[in-house]
Structure 1
Amino acid sequence: MERINLGDYVTAPTEGAIATTAYGALETFELAAFLDQWKGLQREALVMLGEEQRIHPSAFIHPTAIIGDNVIIGPGVKVHEFTTVRKGSVLCAGAQVGFNCEVTATFVGEGAVLGHRIGVNRTILGARAHLSAGVTVAAINMTTDMRTPDREVIIRTMTGLYRCGTTQFGAVIGDDTQTGNNISIGPGVTIGRRCQITSGVTLAIRTVPKDCTVTAPHATDTSIRRRRSTFAR
């Protein structure tokens, strides 16, 4: 079974990105090991930074944005109107988060851009990745009670199924990857470096190799049929 090493997808941030080595060794982790240690690494980073340093003074945070108590924000980051960055998240140097986004327990790499109305959950986003408007990354499988997920997230690789060891994981999206708008991703997706995901694509439980383009069915292939009238004439 193929092992998924984060270094194959995401470049570790420089020390200046978040001023701590707790995440500086990101690329040395296998995915399942990183997900298992995520909370502990977050606590370690917060202790090393201290409360006064967890948000870099050069970061711009719009007054209407909501930032969780344990979120780490690096230099030059921009967080725009009506966006929520929830607990467990790290925004590395130069990252930009657009209007009305929700970022939960997500690692956003250096220079990465999240456009407007994006929701990402328990995801690792590589350096300089660019997500366009309306991208959603889900982190749990369908279950009887969605408030208490009980199905482990898996990834389908070329050599078999990779167990993530957790019931909550969205995606790894590699460095320099770009997406169109209105895209649904996860749970259990890995997308390699320098990929392009065109508008309207849905991906779950699979691996996309580096340097690939993923497209949805062409608009001309869309099925159109007359609906039965429900109105009295």
Structure 2
Amino acid sequence: MERIILGDYITAPTRGAIATTPYGSLEKFELADFLAQWKGLQREALVTLGEDQRIHPSAFIHPTAIIGGDVIIGPDVQVHEFTTVRKGSVLCAGARVGFNCEVTAAFVGEGAVLGHRIGVNRTILGARAHLSAGVTVAAINMTSDMRKPDREVIMRTGSGLYRSGTTQFGAVIGDDTQTGNNISIGPGVAIGRRCQITSGVTLAIRTVPKDCTVTAPHTMESSVRRRRNTFTC
């Protein structure tokens, strides 16, 4: 059975306050182990940094943004208007989060960019990754009561199924990966480094190797034809 090691997808933080926390060894974790320990690592990181250092003084946070009480924000981060960064999240050095985004229990790597109106949940985003407007990463499977997820998130790999060990996990999105707009990802997706995901794609419960391009079938099948002239002179 294929293992999913975070270091195969993303690099650990290398600069700023975040690099001194337990998250600095992120790339050594197997995915399922990291997800099981995420809350504990977050608490360790907060103790290491101290309340006065969890948000770096060089970070820009717009007055309309909402930041959770345990969120860690590194140097030179920008969080723009009407964005919410919820519990358990880490924004590494140089990350950019655009207008009207929602980030929940997510790790956003160094220099990563989230465009406008993006929602990421229980997601690990690599360094310099770029998500364009309208990307959503969902973290739970359909169930009879969506408020109480009860189905473990699994992933299809080249050698079989990988168990995440949790009912809430969105995606790992690798370093330097880029997306188009209006994309739905998760639950249970791992996208390798330097991938391109074109507009309109939907991905769930699978892995994408590094250096791939993913397109939606309809983008190649769309037809364009002239309209009949229904106007008379």
> TM-score, normalised to structure 1's length?
0.94
- Secondary structure at the residue paired with 1:44? helix
Shift of 1:129: 0.1
CA distance in 2, matches of 1:109, 1:99: 18
Deviation at 1:192, TM superposition (A): 0.1
Unaligned stretches of 5+ residues in structure 2 = 225-233
How far is the alpha carbon of 1:18 from its aligned partner?
1.5
8 Å CA contact 2:21–2:49 kept in 1: the answer is: no
Report the TM-score when normalising by structure 2: 0.94
Report percent identity of matched pairs: 88
Match of 2:176 in 1: 176
Q: Does the C-alpha gap of structure 1 residues 160 and 145 become closer, same or farther in structure 2, counting only changes over 3 Å?
A: same
Structure 1 unaligned regions, length at least 5:
225-233
RMSD of equivalent CA atoms: 1.3
Structure 1 partner of 2:165? 165
Partner SS, residue 23 of structure 2:
coil
Distance 2:16 2:221 in 1: 48
Which residue does the alignment assign to 2:105?
105
Matched, 1:22 2:11: no
Instruction: Determine the C-alpha separation between the residues in 1 that align with 2:167 and 2:73.
Output: 26
Q: Is the 8 A contact 1:178 1:196 kept in 2?
A: yes
Task: Tell whether the 8 Å contact from 1:17 to 1:110 is kept in structure 2 after alignment.
Answer: no
SS in 2 for 1:23: helix
Aligned residues: 224
Equivalent residue runs for 1:170-209 within 5 Å = 170-209=170-209
Kept after mapping to 2: 8 A contact 1:15/1:24 = no
Measured against aligned partners, the alpha-carbon deviations of 1:180-227 in whole angstroms (never above 9, x if no partner) come to 000000000000000000000000000000000000124462489xxx
Please show how residues 97-176 of structure 1 align to structure 2 within 5 Å.
Answer: 97-176=97-176
- Rounded to whole Å, the distance in 1 between the matches of 2:222 and 2:9 is 33
> Aligned equivalents of 2:17 and 2:27: distance in 1?
15
2:190 partner amino acid: T
Alpha-carbon distance in structure 2 between the residues aligned to 1:15 and 1:99: 26
Q: How many angstroms does 1:20 deviate by?
A: 2.3
Q: Tell me the distance in 1 between the aligned counterparts of 2:77 and 2:147.
A: 32
For 1:156 and 1:223, how far apart are their aligned partners in 2?
33
Matched AA of 2:90: V
